[in-house]
Amino acid sequence: MPLPPLPGRPRLGRAPLPPLLLLLLLVGPARPISFQLPGKARKCLREEIHRDTLVTGEYEISAPPGSSAGPSANLKITDSAGHILYAKEDATKGKFAFTTEDYDMFEACFESKLPVGTGRMPDQLVTLDMKHGVEAKNYEEIAKVEKLKPLEVELRRLEDLSESIVNDFAYMKKREEEMRDTNESTNTRVLYFSIFSMCCLIGLATWQVFYLRRFFKAKKLIE
């Protein structure tokens, strides 16, 4: 039998989190990507991004400690059509920003440059921090320009985040409708092809029956 709570001391429990706080906890900041870039190598990162979306990024290329050769690589960002959105030769550290014109697959490629006559270059460390949408907006600058309070800035960020989520769901719904239409069209074509194949088989079987009957009659095997 459980004991009653002591007077004057409320029973401890976990209060539910507010929806806004829960949304902030679920959507955390993106972490940068780090990878090794060997000499004479080319590595690319691809990501699908919606149209009219601000994309910002920071990159840094550094040689391993103790290496006599400094970092040296080329950076190029293109879309699926091959249009160059950002390019930098002998890139070591910098920032980039662009706005997408359409939903597309974007590719960021790092190509290592090997100095002539120095042998194999040690692996370089590449760090890329790429943000888009709500993450790419500088809300501190927005707060300074529009003279917003911290709570108003947070509400603005939540509003943009909610709009981004709604747009993602709308795009997913559109893709689902397109896939459903494609499946229905494919099923209709398969049905028509099956009916056509069945008619061809029935016609071929009927022709074979008449042909064999005429053949056997010509050979006087049947009357």
Going by C-alpha positions, the residue among 73, 60, 130 that lies closest to residue 97 is: 130
In this structure, the dihedral spanned by the alpha carbons of residues 102, 105, 106 and 109, taken in order and rounded to 10 degrees, is -160
158 assigned to some structural domain:
no
Look up residue 46 and give its amino acid.
R
In this structure, the dihedral spanned by the alpha carbons of residues 140, 143, 146 and 147, taken in order and rounded to 10 degrees, is -130
At 122, the pLDDT band (50, 70, 90 cuts) reads low
**Predicted structure pTM score:** 0.60
15 assigned to some structural domain:
no
Is 90 exceeded by the pLDDT of residue 144? no
Range of the domain at 50: 33-136
Question: Which residue has 């459903």 as its token pair?
Answer: 180
Sheet holding 104-112, edge to edge: 42-49, 104-112, 73-78, 84-91
| Beta-bridge partner residues of 74 | 111
- Total domains in the chain come to 1
Domain containing residue 101: CATH number: 2.60.120.680
Distance of CA 21 to the CA centre of its chain: 26
175 assigned to some structural domain:
no
Please report the pLDDT score of residue 73 as a whole number: 86
108 assigned to some structural domain:
yes
Instruction: Give 178 or 38, the one with higher predicted confidence.
Output: 178
161 assigned to some structural domain:
no
* Longest CA–CA separation in the chain, Å: 114
Average pLDDT, the chain: 80
Residue 83 near residue 74, CB atoms below 8 Å: no
203 assigned to some structural domain:
no
104 assigned to some structural domain:
yes
Q: What is the DSSP letter of 81?
A: T
Q: What is the DSSP letter of 116?
A: T
Q: What is the pLDDT averaged over residues 123-141? A: 84
Instruction: Give 90 or 199, the one with higher predicted confidence.
Output: 199
Q: What is the pLDDT of residues 10-48, one digit of tens each?
A: 443 444 445 444 444 444 556 788 888 887 888 999 988
75 assigned to some structural domain:
yes
